[in-house]
Structures are given as C-alpha cells and as structure tokens.
Structure 1
Amino acid sequence: MHSNSRRPALGLLFTLVLWAFAALPLLAQNSYYFPKTKNFDPKIPTPEQFLGYGIGERQTRYDRVVAYLQELDRVSDKVRIETIGYTYEHRPQVIVTITSPENHGQLEQIRQEHLQLTDPAKAAPALTNMPVLVHLAYNVHGNESSSTEVSLLTAYYLAANQDPETQRYLKESVVFIEPAQNPDGRDRHTNWVSMHQGNPAVSDPADREHNEVWPGGRGNHYWFDLNRDWLPLAHVESRNRMEFYHKWLPNVFIDFHEMGTNSTYYFEPSKPYSSENRLIPRSTYDGLNVLMARYHAEALDELGSLYFTKEQYDNIYPGYGSTYPDFQGGVGITFEQASSRGNKQEHSLGVLTFAFTIRNHLTTGLATVKAAVENRETLLRHQREFYESALADGRRNGVRAYIYGENYDATRLRKFTELLLAHRIEVYELEKSQRINGQQFEKGKAYVVPTEQPQYRLVESIFAKTKEFDDSVFYDASTWTLALAYNLPHAGLKAKGALGKRITELAPLTPNVPAQSHYAYLLDWADYNAAGALYLLQDKGVITQTIFKPFTASTSSGPKAYQPGTITIPVASQQISSDSLYKVITEVAQLKQISFESVKTGLSLNGIDLGSNNIQTLRKPEALLLTGQGITSYEAGEVWFLLDEQLHMPISKVDLASFPRLSLRRYNTIVLVSGMYNSLDKASVEKLKRWVTDGGTLITFKSAAEWAIKQGLAQGKAIPAQDTASNAARIDFADARPTEGAKSVGGSIYEVDLDTSHPLGFGFTNRKLPVYRNSTTILAPAKNPYSTVAQYTNEPWLSGYVSKANLNKIKNSAALLVSDQGQGRVILFSDNPNFRGTWYGTNRLFFNALFFGSVIKTPGTAVATEH
C-alpha cells in the first residue's frame, strides 16, 4: 500500500477544499466540476437536473444512469447509446458513443478504416483525418462507485460544452463511455450505501455505510472479479465487452478504480520492467504511458491533488482491463482513486468526500481525451506498428506454431477453441494426424495456431510456460497459461508445416442419440459435459450407476471400450417406462450435446459385466455451500457459478452464522471453500462430525482443509507455511516488502500425478495433470496408501514464480486427499480446483467429488473392510 506523505500545508488545503464543496448549493456544481467552462448548451440537461440531486450527494442507481444517458441520446446529435448485452441479473450493458455529428454520419466507415489500420495484411489508410478512439470504462468493481458518477458528468461535458477545444476533440476522436462494467455489483453497493446514508452524512470509518456485509459489491452476480476476466472470458459481461472491443480496437482504454481510503491517486506508468509484460513493446511503456502521464499529472497538479506512479500495480497479466489493450496495440491505463466507500469518510488528510473522488476521476478522464487528440497520429501509428511488429516477433520465435488437441473430450476442446476465436486468434485445422513428444494429435480432434500472426503476443501468453521474471513480488497471478488450465495436450512446433482450413466458427456438435434399448444405456465420463448430463438425468428421477473397472460393450454403434467412471443406466431398474426413459435420454443428449450408446445385453465383450459388484449406484447431490463473513467470496462464487453454468445444479448457500441452527438432513454434500471457520463453536463442529460419520461428503479447499484436519474432522497433516528459526538474519526495513512478498505463492502452475483409477480421478485419460496454486496450504501425503488421490511430482514446477523454499515443500506433497470417517468421507483439496471459472482441467475433480463422493470407500479403513 502506498504511504501518503504528510504535508501540513497541502493537508489543510485539501480539507478546506472539501469543506468548501460541502457548502455548495446544487446549482454551483458546474463551477466545482467544470470551473473553467461557461459555454454549456442549455438544451442539454445536467445530470443533477435530470436526477434531482447533485452528483456526489448520493449514489446513483444504475437504471437512472442508463436513463440519463438515454436522455442525452434523445436531445443531442453527438450522443448515441447502444446495448451490447445483459448481465446475469438482466441489467443492460450499455456503451455511449460521443463524437461530432459529422462523425456519427460515417461511423461505420470510421470503424472499417480503423480495422484496416490494425490489419498488417492490408495497406495502411491515411492518418490525416482518422479519428482516434478512446474508451473510458468505469466501475468494474461494483463498490468502487465514484467513476460511474463520472461517466454522467463526462458525457454531459462532451455533449453540452460548446467551446472550440471540445468541438475539436469531438471531430478528431470517437469517445466510448461504458458507465459500469459491472452493473450488478454496482447496484448491490449502491443499495447498501443508500440504505445506510445518514443526514448529515457520517464520516466515521466504523459506520455501517462504509462497511458492506459479505460479499460486498466488488464482484459481479457470482462474486467474480471481472477485472481478472478479460483473458479467460468466463462471464457474460466480459464476453459481451470483448465482442464490442474487437469491433473497434480503441487506441486508449482507461480502467477507473478505487483503492484504500488513506491513499491518494494512482495512474501509470507502472513499476518499470518488474511490473510490465515482456511481450509488450517498450514503445508502449516508455513512450505512450509516459506521454499520457504528463497530461494526467498536469490535470491533477492544477487541482492540487496528490498522486503517485510507478508503484504497486502491475501490467503483467493480460486479463486486466488496463493490460489487455496493451496486447491490442492500444494503451491501457489504470486510474486508482482513494475511496470514500460512501458519501464521506475520515482519512489521514481530513475528510474524503464522494464528490472529491468524482472530481479527480473526471479530471483525469477529460485529460485523457485531450491527450489522445493532441497525440492522435502517434497513437494511430503505434497501433499499426504494434501489429506489424507482432508478425516480426512471431517469425523470430523459435516456436513457429502451437498444436493442441483432445482425443476423448470434444467439449473441452471446443470451449478452448471458442476462447481463442473470441480473442481473434488465428486457428487452423490440423492437416494430418501426427505424433509429437509422445502425444498423438488426430486430424479432426486437433488444431494449429501459428505464431506469425497479429495476435502473436496473446498466443504466446496462452500457450508458453514462463519461469523467468524481473521481480519476485506480484500483485496477482504470475502465470496464466490457458492451455494448461484446460488440461489440453499441446506442443510447440519448430515448423508450422502445412495448415488446414482456417477456423472462424465451429460447427454445432452432433451428439449420438442411440437406438432405443430395453436393457441399458451408457454415457462416457471422459467428456466434460457428462457431469451436466448426469445431473439432468438424476434430476429427472433416472437411476444412474458408475463402473469401477474397464469393460468393452457391444453397443448399437459397434464394440466400444469404456473406462472407470462410465455412467450406466439400467432400463428395468427405473421407475419410469422404457419409452419415457428413452425420451429423457434423447432430450439430455441434445441439450448437453453429448453422446449416449445403448446395449441389448449385460454380457460384455471384455472386462466386467453390467451386473458386476464393481458397479455402484449413484445418489443425486444435495449440496450445501457455507458462505458469509470470513469465507473467501471469490471461491464461494466460483462454486456457485460452476454449478449454475456447467451443471445447472442448484446449491444451497447458507451463511456461516446460521449453521448452528441448520438441520443437515436434506444435504448429502457440504462444500467449504477457503476461509475462517473458527466462528463455528464446539457444538457445531460436533454436528458436522456426526453428519460426516453418518455418510455425508465434506469437500474442503485450501485453508478449509487445514481447519478440517485441526478440528479432527479429517485425518491428515498440514505442513507449516513458514519455517521457524531462532537465528533469523537481520534484514533492512526497506527490504521487507520484496523479501516477504517473494515467500508467497501468488499464482503458479504445477504438475501432479493423479490416480485415474480412483473415483475422484474418473474420466481423466492421463495421470499427469496441471494444477493451479495460489496459497501456502501444503498437505502431507496420507498414511493410508490409497488415500492420496493426487500428489505433486518430484519436479512439479510448470510455469509461474515460486521461491526455492516453497518449491521444496510443494514437491511430493499431496494435492488431493480422501479421509474416510465412519460411513462418510472428507475430501481435501490443497488447491482451488475451480480457479476463476477457468480451470476446466481441475474443476472436473470437483465434479467427481460431488457425484462420486458417496461411493468412495477407501481400502484399509474400517468401513471399507466391513463391505
């Protein structure tokens, strides 16, 4: 966290400015926000005239934000509003385009010429009259609310200001205003503040207004951080925005944020080299970032507002809103304003008002438009050169192409390919089957991505593994190799060879709907969509089973080998007729885009038969997720999102404080993500123990796994994160942050060995599995030799930063354990298998825990020997 300098004179000035604004009447707002501008068009309503209160006096609901922007569209020929999609809570995502009336008349031509500029395969258009594109994106974190208010003032200023300077801006630029990147989270925060706003406003930091209840308004509907979702595109808001972004490819993108109340103001450049991505040309950082910073500094200097640069925040991860534009030839910039988290709050320099935070963001936003116009040709030329240099860098790369494929899971392969296409990455069909580094890539089940392409830098980010860094302290993740996240076999090619047809969109899957059977149906568990299909079957009352041993069946499509995890659906055992069952099978196959097979006999060609004791009946998961204060909201949201989005399976979200009064009878599965569970008293822990012993499945992540072991809910041992040494060497205070930061595991990727014969490993076709780790929870392998389902290898490090000490602890430790307790079991993940809704490789482990947990009986335990 940045340390504020205490300067008495500036502090007094700051306090006087805030006090002066508090005394301003409603009609004086323009003189506060726009002190130098007098020539406003009276036909354009101010935000306060439309809303009925002054900007900064209260939080504005999102529907009123949209309504005002629609009014500007109605009354001004400079403003157009469009809806690019809808959030999960069905709020419209809107973009306002502001430019001169003449530019509005030829927007499509402007767009096409700009796309031509970014395409190295086409001749560059003349830059003389080409407008620069500026995208101002507000409020990606819902409780960083000042910037949405800024969007109203900015739109008003550009639409109503009649000064020659502003007319020039509108002629030479197209400005996109995105009032809230996270409308759902914003309204959650807005409602909270509005509920608790006092009159007069309360500045006490302890007041309820400034302290939202869990999970707060930062995340979207599923409590995700959308500022991490630009690369994985897990959420609908991000996918809608990405489509618009690539429609225009703006030259400047500003991502407006807030930070701690006792900070000042931050803008880029970020920390040189250590906080920058090596794939981005130095001209972005040393040129454009520094150039833009001069305008931002000048604007804030004029206000007397304090600020800092080159500290704390980074530009490494392509999934940030301020970093992704750098990968598209633009300049992405983060603005961070100290937050009042309400209408006013005491801080180290006095009292910070909502209006003051709004004014700072407003000032730097307008300075951005000025900077973009005054350096229009520089920005346009940079974008052209960026894509040309991408081709050159791709040619110089020792890897000429990446090949990836999946022979058993068409769904996971499809999802990854759709992601690449959403980023406008060139993807080609594999011309012919080939074997590379011991991996077989089949034509029709594999693709090739050349590195010599305009999106080279994103390609390298998605496929390449990174172990070298300029710094050992990271604001967030240190790696984001999505090919590993999807657990897809892939390899780099020294020569790209002959390419097949370029893929621009994927044809619909054609699932196999089998002939009707009066004996049984089979569902291969290797396909990612099998879990969603299984839940849908169970939800419709279909009895389902899973196999523990492989077999070969004579199916309606011919002989087919099946591995452990395969779902069997016996016809005669159902409570519905065979005709009704067949109708359900057909519906599920079409809905989940997954193939079934039918068999006429239980006698297998090889392996076990369909009446074997190695086949177990499954129970439908009835799951509970503990939430609330102390629980990691991101991880809780990831569980909720995953079950909603992929399985369409409901999960009961119950506050931790309600657990002592909660009956557990209806649940057979409970999920504990990372968090603090010490608020559960002894009686609650005993209740949870009894529930597990009676047959429940408790699934724990990271620190929750450590807590379960400590409470005696599970057998195991957690390895301490820090070594204790009595003779620790002295370290200078100034070196504390880099020294301590290097000890954390901030986000890196490792390899584990997975027991694919275990129910938790069902459906995996390779024992080697990449996992993501961002904590220091390290578990020792179980004493029972059958209970360590996944174990880190002796050389596990695949990508990202890790200290030598942490790596030595991670080696050969347990990634996934099962601890049998009476009739039940506790499943312990040392990591988070559902990280950011992106890890399709490991979230299947979580699916297995949900569906197969009830049939796990570990050999060597008392329960197992009784059967």
Structure 2
Amino acid sequence: MRLLKLTFFLFFFTLTQGQEIKSPSEFLGYNLGEKFTRHHQVVDYFEYLSRSSELIKMIPYGLTNESRKLNLVFLSNENNLNNLELIRKSHLQNTGLIKGPKNNNIVVIWLSYNIHGNESSSTEASMKTAYEIIKNNKKWLDDAIIILDPCVNPDGRDRYVNFYKQSRSFPNDTKSFSREHHEPWQNGRTNHYIFDLNRDWAWLTQIESQQRIKMYNKWLPHVHVDFHEQSINNPYYFAPAAEPLHEKITSFQKKFQNDLAKNHAKYFDKNGWLYFTKQTFDLLYPSYGDSYPMFLGSIGMTYEQAGGGRAGLGIINDNYQLLTLKERIEHHFTTSISTIEFSIKNKSVLNENFQKFFFDKKRKFKFYILEGNSDILNSLSKFLSKHEINSSNILKKQNIKGYDYQKEKNITRTITPNSLVISTDQVKGKLAEILLEPKAKLNDSLTYDITAWSLPYAYGLKAIASNEKIDFKSFENIKVFENNINNNSYGYGFNWKSFEDSKFLASLLKEKVLVRFNKKKLINNKNAWDLGSIFILKGDNNHIKETLVSTVDSIAKKFNRTLIEINSGYSDSGVDLGSQDVKMIKKLNVGIIGGSGVSPYNYGEIWYFFEKQLKYPVTQIPEDKLSEALKSINTLILPNGSYSLFKSKEKIKLLIEWIKSGGKIISIGRSIDMLAKNKIFTINKKSNDLKKDPLISYNKSKRNNISNNITGSIYKVNTDPSHFLNYGLDFYYTLKLSADSYEFLEKGHNAGYLSENAQPSSGFVGSNVKDFQKNSLVFGEQKLGKGSIIYFVDNPLFRGFWYSGKILFSNALFFR
C-alpha cells in the first residue's frame, strides 16, 4: 500500500512539473481584455502560479474593509525565494537600517497596480507580466527581486467591475454616452470609505495604506511604479515627471527617469503608440505612489494609460479612435516589462545611488522641536513611527535658536522638557524633513495637488526648526492616565485638549452617560477648569446609578484618560457646577447627506471620521430621504458640493422649521453656497470681479489662470477663544483648498476668521486672490430659533490627517 501511494505521488509530481504553466487567458477561460477579471479570480491565478512554479511566491499582507485579500507576489529564482529574508536584510544594509557591509547583490523592483479601482487595466496587465517573466525571462530573476502588488484597491476594483458587468450591453457599446461608460456617484476609483489611496501614502489613514506601508518599509525597493489611467483622449504617459519637483529629489533620480523613458520609447516607437512625458504629473506632494518612494531613495514613477472608469471594454474617444481594454493592457504590460528589463541592466548603478541617498547627511535643519498637549505629541510620534521615523524628548530646559513656525522667522526660544524632538540625522531623515518642513520650495506654481502639508501646523503644535546642538533622550509616551475613582465623589471632570478627549466623550455618550461642559471658566476644589471642560456628575446619572462608576472607570482606562475627582458642586470661584453656564451635552443623533452633487471625497472623510476615528454612529441619508430622516436626527452634515437639496421649496421650509425647533446643520465648503441663496441664512459669499486680459496669448492662459486659484495653502486663523468651536485649541491653522471667500457674519459669531493682515504661512496662493482672503470668515455659527448653523468654509477633515481639524469638528458636534 505504501509503495502504491509513493508511486502515485511520484507520478503526480512528475505530471504537474512537466505541464506547461497556463497563461492568464488559458487559466481564466477567456482572452485578457475580453472581460474584466474580478479580484478573487486574480488571486486564484496568482495562487495557481505559486503552486505551479518555483519562481513565484505569493505572500498575503492584509484584508480590505470589505474583507478582500491584499497580496504581494514575489518573483525571483528558486534560491532567492528560499532566502528572501536574508536577501531583504542584506538589501537594507544599503540604507543603514541594518548593520552590515554595503552591497549591490540584487535589484528590488516593486510594481503597484490598480490603486484607483476603476483604472482597471493594470491588474489585468499584472497577470500577463508575471506569466511573461516566468515563461520567457527567467534569467532576469537571478539578479532581481520583483514584487508585484496586483491590486492595491480590491474594493474599488470590484465595485467598478461589478458595475460594468451589470450595466454593459452585449456586445459592448463603444458610444461614450451609453450607460456602461458612466459610473454611479460612489464610483470605483476610491476604497470603501471613498478615500483616494494615491493621496494616502504619507497620511496612512486607510487600512490598505497602513498594511501596505509595513511591507514597503521591509523592502524599500530601488524602483517603484504606480500604474494609473487618465482621460480617454490622452496618449500614454510615463516619467520623467513634470515640474514642480521637490527639491529633495536627486539628480540621479531625475536622470534615471529620463534614461528609463528612452527604453519605454523604444518599444512604443516600434509599435507606433503615442506617448508623452514631462507634463501634468509632478513630484511635489509627498503622499503619491511616485513621490513618497522618491523620498525613500527609490526611483518613483507614475504610468498613465488612457481609459479609467469611462473606457469599459471599448470606447470611441473624442478623437474618433477606438480605445479597447486589450490595448490598455498591452501598454501597461509593455512598460512593466521595460521597467524590469532596464532596472536589472542597471543593477549596480541603482545600488550605488541608493546607498548615496541614505548616507547623504545634508539637511536644511538638524532638528524639529514641537511643544503642546501631551496627547497630541504622542499622536504625532505614533504617526511618525508608522514611517519608522524616530522621535525623542528634550532632556532638559534649554534655549534654542531656529525658525519659529508661529512667528515665521528665526528667533531664540526656551524649550521645555518632554518637548518632542525629531532628528533628521536618521535613516529616514529626509522623509521626516519633508513631512515637517514649514514651507515646501515651489519652483513652479502649476501643480497637480496641494502645496502645503506641514505636520506642525496640521497638529496645532508650537514648532521650531533648528541647527543647534540639542540634548535629548529616547522618546517616552508621555503618561496621561492616572485614576483612582472614589465612589463617594460628587463627580469627575477632565480638561478638553485633544482628539483623544473627543473619542473618550463619544464613548461615554454611547454608554448613556450624561455629561456637561462649562461655557465660563471656573475654579473648583483648587482645580482651574478651562472653557469646554467635561463634567460627569452623579446627580445627572441616576438612571445608571449602580453602574456609573464602573462604566466611567472602564472607559477612562480604555482611552488612558485621567479624571479629576470633584467633591462639591460649589466652586472656589466662577460659576458653580449647577449653573446654566455648565450645560448638558444633548444626545447626538447625526446624519450626513449623500448622493449626486455631493463631493464623494468629503462625504467619505466624514463617514470615516465617525466610523473609524471618533467611533460614533452616523446615519447615511440619501437626499430623497431627508424629510423622513429629519424626524430621527438632531444634527445634519452637509458635505462639500453643489446638490439639489435647496431647489425644493418644501424641503427648504421643512429644514428651516427643523433648525428652529433645535436642529443643527454643519455646512462644509461649497454647500454653504446653497444656504447663502436663502436670506434666512445670513452668510454671504464675497464677490471677486477678476478681469481677464482679453489679449492674453493662448499658450499663457492656463498658467495665468493659476493666479486666480489657491492650491492647498495654510493660513493662521484668528480665533475667539470664548466660542465653543475653539474649545481645546490653543491656536488653529486652516488648509485652504480654494479661493472661495465669505463675508463676516453680521448676525452670528465669527469664531474663526482671517484678518486684514492675513498671509499664507505655507503654500501657493494666486496673486489675484491673495488680498481676497483678507477679512473673511473661516468658521462661524448662526443661531436660528432653538437651533443653529455651523459654517466651515474650509474642510477640517481633509484626507483624514488634519489633526486639529478633528478637534474643531468635534467641537461643532458636541457643544453649543
């Protein structure tokens, strides 16, 4: 019997080894480009390759929000794949992350496909690329570790593929106006929470980014390519990138992009394919899939194929040309192979310059020192650690000379112990410098994204950049939690200072704990309570009398909150705790309007804020269900956008009555314009009559238009500390994403505004709109009956990384 089993095993092994490995088309049962391949089928094919060939290994690295698999596919020779960990460590010796001799043993190439789900041809191309390497280019694998991420955004891809399969005609309709070429409102570009994953490399808000960066940090490839699609009318784009390029990008990185482009051009020229370079796609913003790798020594590049969500299986573009999925796949396949081929040929020069990048110690500043609330410092340190950027603490009080972020000039300032210090003399010091720098150098104002992102401004921290010698120690998570709750206390309180406090409060409210806040300062039991401090009083919570202490204690431990014991409602000075100026926080029932005309990005930011950051329930409301929804909510969020909500007189009347009876609206960005059209809302948009030069040349018109825009600039906001929107904020910097400007509220509270002297602290502002921002509202409140409207001219939740904006938004939710 044993002999029979052994014979069968040897026969089966010999049979499988002798079989030809199936191409993607053979495995799937259709030719690539005839259909879209769902994500699970892509995973099945790579699992099949891993079983069938000793040259490929698939390693899972996580799951998406919708539980789809995230995988990396490694291609190399059998010996290399059996020694991946040794090779990885040897490679990282070239960075200084691991001690050991420098070497040029191998080149690491990482190709990322389909980060935008509806830019779908590249995942198809990834299967063809892997098969081609195994079948016809095995010799390459002696000198390379090739890493493929076949689908960075599976949730978005399947959303698009499912839409297309459900909507397409048979045969497919190539007319551009047909249904199959027009996705619904939440299209396939983004992930589950409607975040653009190609803007999240640096901020790491999304689960896909968080899991991917752990693997990326393990490998730090020499070359990284991010595959995309663009307008159906555009030829293929490959690097070199357009200006502006961040000043930290090296001359070698620029040269290699150019040399590689010539290799691509050779293949494209042979086939008569159109392409362009050095236009549109710049390398300034640090959170792209091409720029972020650049700042970690890689040759980071974007490749853009015509197509996107409109293209389907085929479409006639505006040039009357048929663009097919087969053609799109072939183009991405070609640049994939060309990139691998050229990188392997240049293994030695890539390694040499990779080493130079990491061992180059030239920095504009040696240290960044940040001061502020311990929660916020801890949060920033934790964020930086995800990028493997080390933080430290000031060892002792000392005077430091450097560039002060708030004063925007060089000064000498006294720095206190436990301030956060980030040294740029570390392996990832260049990346640290780019994320923390007060102002990015801009050598061209015509850019693809925001021009300012400085983390000290985003986190609302005092900061100084210095070249002085600083005494510091290893970072310690500054202790916040210390509780010994007494059952006999009158109540408990804590000062409102951080977004961690917001999460604690949200959890208390979910557990039906009634909570108050003070609108006037007071001193109670020798403790000074700032405006917006939180009080949990036993007298308010008789409905949970038996479990109050244990509930509060448990939640405080979960969030590491220190509660201060209160023994009496009688204050040493200021109002008593029973005063009408110590208000109860009402039960919060929140809804958010979604649908056509609403900015899907801002909608996703709000949705994500509630579900994943604040962890408080929010109801998603289709616009046509608003009337029904108003019966069960008391707070309505209007995301940025221009939608039809206020075209119906009945809905306007219903909404106004709802506000007057106690409802609260939080209006963001362009949604304010809808309110401004009705006189009952007292906000007015400023008019900027820009006169265009009728004789300006056509070639200069696009560049001239930038003078009328703001591309993500940072302004310091004048704030009214007595207003609840500013509770817990020592100061606030806003990120302006457009030139829209609004008058001060004549009937309302201008809680945050730009003054007569307002100037951007960082980022580009067009010359024609710079003065237009002066004397303008940033955020404020209008009361209407028993309710109110909160206006946010700028989006405080932009891309989920503006930390102080989360405090501001929490204030709008909880206080009034």
Coarse TM-score class (shorter-chain normalised): over 0.9
Pick from 794, 801, 804 the counterpart of residue 831 of structure 1.
794
Give runs of aligned pairs for residues 164-175 of structure 1, distance below 5 A.
166-175=137-146
How far apart, in 1, do the equivalents of 2:227 and 2:343 lie?
17
User: 1:514 and 1:729 mapped to 2: Cα distance?
Assistant: 73
**Distance in 2 (alpha carbons) for counterparts of 1:569 and 1:649:** 19
Contact 1:791/1:816, CA 8 A, preserved across alignment: yes
Q: 2:314 aligns with which of 344, 352, 358?
A: 344
| CA distance in structure 2 between the aligned counterparts of 1:327 and 1:839, rounded to whole angstroms | 21
Of 709, 717, 721, 2:676 maps to 709
- Does the aligned pair in 1 maintain the 2:368–2:463 contact within 8 Å? yes
Contact in 2 for aligned 1:461/1:480 (Cα 8 Å): no
After TM superposition, give the deviation of residue 434 of structure 1 in Å.
4.2
| Aligned twin of 2:253 | 284
| Distance in 1 of aligned mates of 2:138 and 2:510 | 61
Deviation at 1:349, TM superposition (A): 4.4
Q: 2:290 aligns with which of 300, 303, 322?
A: 322
Q: Paired residue for 1:861?
A: none
Pair 1:571 & 2:538 matched:
yes
Separation in 2, partners of 1:43, 1:744: 58
The aligned counterpart of 2:563 is 596
The answer to whether structure 1 residue 789 and structure 2 residue 789 are counterparts is: no
Matched residues, number: 785
Aligned to 2:9: none
Q: What is the 5 A alignment of 1:132-143?
A: 132-143=107-118
Asked whether the equivalents of residues 517 and 599 of structure 1 are also in contact (C-alpha less than 8 Å), the reply is no
Alignment check: 8 A CA contact 2:593 2:620 kept: yes
Aligned counterparts of 2:327 and 2:440: Cα–Cα separation in 1:
43
Matched, 1:671 2:642: no
Q: How does 1:156-305 map to 2 (within 5 A)?
A: 156-159=131-134, 161=135, 163=136, 166-271=137-242, 274-285=243-254, 287-305=255-273
Counterpart-to-counterpart distance in 1, 2:251 and 2:295: 12
1:417 aligned partner = 381
- Residue number in structure 1 paired with 2:124: 149
Question: Could you tell which deviates more after superposition, 772-781 or 329-338?
Answer: 772-781
* Shift in Å, 1:683: 1.6
For residues 339-418 of structure 1, what are the structure 2 equivalents within 5 Å?
339=307, 341-347=311-317, 348-389=319-360, 391=361, 393-394=362-363, 397=364, 399-406=365-372, 408=373, 410-418=374-382
For 1:17, the equivalent position in structure 2 comes to none
Question: Which structure 1 residue ranges, 5 or more long, are not aligned?
Answer: 1-39, 856-867
Match of 1:613 in 2: 580
Task: Please state whether the residue corresponding to 1:174 is helix, strand or coil.
Answer: strand
Instruction: Report whether the alignment pairs 1:427 with 2:404.
Output: no
Mapping of residues 361-760 of structure 1, within 5 Å: 361-389=332-360, 391=361, 393-394=362-363, 397=364, 399-406=365-372, 408=373, 410-434=374-398, 441-444=415-418, 446-466=419-439, 468-501=441-474, 503=475, 506=477, 510-512=481-483, 514-554=485-525, 559-659=526-626, 661-678=627-644, 680-720=647-687, 722-725=688-691, 728-760=693-725
Report the secondary structure of 1:336's partner residue: strand
2:79 aligned with 1:106, yes or no? no
User: Does the aligned pair in 1 maintain the 2:532–2:727 contact within 8 Å?
Assistant: yes
Q: Aligned to 2:385, what secondary structure does the other structure show?
A: helix
Cα pair distance change 1:663/1:108, threshold 3 Å: closer
Q: Give a deviation string over 1:131-185, Cα, whole Å, max 9, x none.
A: 10000100111110111111111122223x1x4xx12211111000101111111
Name the aligned partner's letter for residue 152 of structure 1.
M
C-alpha deviations, 1:7-40, integer Å up to 9, x for none? Answer: xxxxxxxxxxxxxxxxxxxxxxxxxxxxxxxxx9
Deviations along 1:114-139, one digit per CA (max 9) or x if unpaired, are: 10011289564232xx1100001001
What is the rounded CA distance, in whole Å, between the counterparts of 1:844 and 1:439 in structure 2? 27
Contact kept in structure 2, 1:518 and 1:578, CA below 8 Å:
no
Alpha-carbon shift at residue 469 of structure 1 (Å): 2.1
Per the alignment, in what secondary structure is the counterpart of residue 759 of structure 2? strand
AA of the residue aligned to 2:179: R
Residue type matched to 1:733 in 2?
A: Y
Q: CA, structure 1 residues 341+511, in 2 after alignment: closer, same or farther (shift >3 Å)? A: farther
Contact between 2:89 and 2:98, CA under 8 Å: does it hold in 1?
no
Q: Give the deviation of 1:322 after TM superposition.
A: 0.8
The structural deviation recorded for 1:455 is 2.4
Instruction: Quickly say closer, same or farther: Cα 1:606–1:496, change in 2 above 3 A.
Output: farther
Return the offset for 1:674.
1.3
The letter for the 1-side match of 2:252 is S
Unaligned runs of 5+ in 2: 1-16, 401-410
Partner of 1:82: 59
Distance 1:75 1:850 in 2: 56
Matched AA of 2:635: T
Tell me which residue corresponds to 1:8: none
Q: Which structure 2 residues correspond to residues 21-60 of structure 1 after superposition, within 5 A?
A: 42-60=19-37
Q: Alpha-carbon deviation of 1:512?
A: 3.1
Q: Verify the 8 A CA contact 2:66 2:155 in the aligned structure 1.
A: yes
Match of 2:674, SS state, is helix
Q: Are the counterparts in 2 of residues 280 and 457 from structure 1 also a CA contact under 8 Å? A: no
Aligned amino acid, residue 772 of structure 1: L
**1:816 match:** 779
Task: Say which is worse superposed, 592-601 or 227-236, in terms of deviation.
Answer: 592-601
Distance 1:468 1:134, change over 3 A: closer
Q: Please, what TM-score do these two structures have when normalized by structure 2?
A: 0.93
Amino acid at match of 2:77: S
State which drifts further: 460-469 or 473-482: 460-469
Measured against aligned partners, the alpha-carbon deviations of 1:544-571 in whole angstroms (never above 9, x if no partner) come to 11111122233xxxx4321111111111
State how far apart, in whole Å, the 1-side matches of 2:745 and 2:412 are.
32
Maintained 8 Å contact 1:85/1:92: yes
The answer as to whether partners of 2:285 and 2:450 remain within 8 angstroms in 1 is: yes
Relative distance call for 1:253 and 1:663 in structure 2 (3 A) is: closer
SS of the aligned residue for 1:186 comes to helix
2:539 aligned counterpart, secondary structure? coil
CA deviations on 1:303-360 (whole Å, 9 max, x unpaired) are: 2211100111111111000111111111011000000631111112421111110110
Structure 1 distance, partners of 2:628, 2:471, is: 62
Distance in 2 between residues matched to 1:615 and 1:745, nearest whole Å: 41
Choose the corresponding residue for 2:42, options 54, 65, 69. 65
CA distance in 2: counterparts of 1:69 and 1:712, whole angstroms: 61
Q: Secondary structure at the match of 1:193?
A: helix
In 2 relative to 1, CA 300–796 (structure 1 residues): closer, same or farther, beyond 3 Å? Answer: same
Residue equivalent to 2:13: none
Which 10-residue stretch deviates more, 600-609 or 748-757? 600-609
- Paired residues of 1:544 and 1:570 also in contact (CA < 8 A): yes
The residue identity in structure 2 corresponding to 1:143 is N
CA–CA separation in structure 2 for the residues paired with 1:65 and 1:121? 35
1:119 counterpart SS class: coil
User: Quick one: distance in 1 between partners of 2:480 and 2:227?
Assistant: 40
Q: Which moved more, 1:687-696 or 1:427-436?
A: 427-436
Q: In structure 2, give the amino acid aligned to 1:669.
A: T
Letter in 2 for 1:572: G
Q: 1:239 to 1:319 in 2, by over 3 A?
A: same
Residue 539 of structure 1, CA deviation = 1.7
**Conserved in 2, the CA contact under 8 Å of 1:672 and 1:698?**
yes
